[in-house]
C-alpha cells in the first residue's frame, strides 16, 4: 500500500551520514518536519544544511542504538549506517519507542519501503514501488514514467492543484459539511471563467474569482 505520510511538525531521525543517510535527508527536506541527523562523520552537504538551519546535526560514535533513546518523541527513525547489525538494533529501538522505522539495507525489517518518486513542481508526486523487492527497477521504471508524465501533466493541472488548496482553506470555515465543500471544489474545475483565467496564467484573478464564487455558495446556503 502506497501512502503519502504527513510528517509536518514531527521529528525524523536519520542515523548515518553516508550516501544513504544523505539520500534520506534529501527526501525529508521540504516536508516541514524536524530532521535530526546522527553520524560519526560529517560531510559538506550535511554541514551546509545544518548551517542553513534545515537540519540538526549531531556527531556521535555509532557503536550501539542507545542514542536513539534520547529522542523519545521521534516519529520516524531511519537507520542508514554501513553496519547491518547496527541498523537492525536501531530499528528495534525505534520501534520500541513507537516510531515508524526503516533500515536502508533491509526492507524486510522496516515498517515501510521507499518508493521512487516522480515529483512535478513539488505539487504532484507519482510513486513507483516494488515494495522493497528491487529499488533499482523502481528507479528505472520511474525514469520511463517521468518522461510520459511530464508530457501529459500540463501547467494548468499544476495551477488547478494549487488553486484547489487555496480554495479548500478559504472554504473550510464557511462551508460546514465535507460534502458541500467537495461539491464547491468540483465546481471550480468545471467553471469556464476560472479555467480560462488559469490558461491565461492570470492566477491572482483566478483566486479572486474563486472567492467570489465562494461568497455565492455561502449566500445560497444561508437562504
Q: Are residues 129 and 159 in the same domain?
A: no
Cell triple for 198: 488559469
d(CA 73, CA 14): 14
Give yes or no: residues 146 and 181 share one domain: no
* pLDDT for res 212: 96
Percent of the chain with pLDDT over 70: 98
Q: Give the containing element (helix H, strand E) for 216.
A: helix 203-222
At residue 60 the predicted structure's pLDDT band, cuts being 50, 70 and 90, is very high
DSSP letter (8 states) at residue 17: -
Structural domain ending residue among the three candidates 112, 141, 169:
112
* pLDDT band, very low/low/confident/very high, at 1 (cuts 50, 70, 90): low
What percent of the residues of the chain are helix, what percent strand, and what percent coil, each to the nearest 5?
A: 50, 15, 35
CB 138 within 8 A of CB 116: yes
Provide the number of structural domains found in the chain: 3
The residue among 92, 112, 132 that closes a domain is 112
- Residue 29 DSSP label: T
206 and 179 inside one domain? yes
Please tell me whether residue 73 adopts helix, strand or coil conformation.
Answer: coil
64 and 135 inside one domain: no
End residue of a domain, out of 153, 173, 205: 153
Beta-strand runs (E) in the chain: 11-15, 34-39, 56-59, 74-79, 100-103, 116-120, 124-128
Are both 213 and 145 inside the same structural domain?
no
181-193: per-residue pLDDT in tens?
Answer: 999 999 999 999 9
Q: Do 52 and 87 reside in the same domain of the chain?
A: yes
End-to-end CA distance of the chain: 44
Query: In this predicted structure, what is the pLDDT of residue 222?
Result: 67
pLDDT at 30 over 90: no
Structural contact between residues 57 and 50, judged by C-beta atoms closer than 8 angstroms: yes
Determine what percent of the chain is predicted with pLDDT higher than 90: 68
- Verify that 167 and 183 share a domain, yes or no: yes
Q: Is residue 149 domain-shared with residue 88, that is, in the same domain?
A: no
Distances (CA, A) of 70 to 82, 97, 158, 182, 207: 22, 10, 41, 43, 46
Assign 112 to helix, strand or coil. coil
Instruction: Check pLDDT > 70 for residue 223.
Output: no
Same domain, yes or no, for 105 and 2? Answer: yes
Instruction: Tell which residue, 96, 136, 88, has the closest CA to residue 116.
Output: 136
Distance CA 132, CA 198 (A): 40
CATH of the domain at 88: 3.40.50.720
Same domain, 188 and 106: no
Q: Answer yes or no: are the C-beta atoms of 90 and 24 closer than 8 Å.
A: no
Residues 101 and 126 in one domain: no
* Residue among 66, 9, 71 at smallest CA distance from 36: 71
Residues 99 and 46 grouped into a single domain: yes
Quote the domain boundaries for residue 145.
Answer: 115-153
Helices (H), 79-191: 84-96, 135-152, 155-171, 178-190
Closest CA to 79 of 88, 67, 70: 88
Q: Cα–Cα–Cα angle for 132, 84, 80, nearest 5°? A: 65
Amino acid at each position: 500500500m502506497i501512502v503519502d505520510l504527513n510528517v509536518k511538525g514531527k521529528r525524523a531521525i536519520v542515523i548515518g551520514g553516508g550516501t544513504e543517510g544523505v539520500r534520506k535527508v534529501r527526501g525529508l527536506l521540504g516536508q516541514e518536519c524536524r530532521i535530526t541527523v546522527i553520524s560519526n562523520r560529517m560531510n559538506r552537504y550535511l554541514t551546509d544544511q545544518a548551517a542553513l538551519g534545515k537540519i540538526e546535526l549531531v556527531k556521535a560514535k555509532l557503536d550501539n542504538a542507545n542514542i536513539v533513546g534520547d529522542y523519545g518523541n521521534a516519529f520516524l527513525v531511519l537507520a542508514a549506517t554501513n553496519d547491518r547489525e547496527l541498523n537492525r538494533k536501531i530499528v528495534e529501538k525505534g520501534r520500541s519507542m513507537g516510531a515508524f522505522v526503516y533500515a536502508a539495507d533491509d526492507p524486510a525489517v522496516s515498517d515501510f519501503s521507499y518508493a521512487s518518486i516522480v515529483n512535478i513542481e513539488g505539487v504532484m508526486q507519482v510513486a513507483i514501488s516494488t515494495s522493497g523487492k528491487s529499488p533499482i527497477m523502481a528507479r528505472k521504471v520511474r525514469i520511463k514514467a517521468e518522461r510520459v508524465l511530464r508530457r501529459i501533466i500540463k501547467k494548468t493541472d499544476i495551477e488547478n492543484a494549487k488553486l484547489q488548496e487555496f480554495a479548500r482553506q478559504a472554504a473550510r470555515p464557511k462551508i460546514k459539511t465535507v460534502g458541500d465543500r467537495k461539491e464547491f471544489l468540483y465546481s471550480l474545475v468545471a467553471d469556464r471563467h476560472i479555467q480560462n483565467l488559469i490558461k491565461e496564467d492570470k492566477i491572482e484573478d483566478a483566486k479572486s474569482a474563486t472567492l467570489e464564487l465562494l461568497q455565492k455558495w455561502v449566500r445560497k446556503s444561508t437562504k
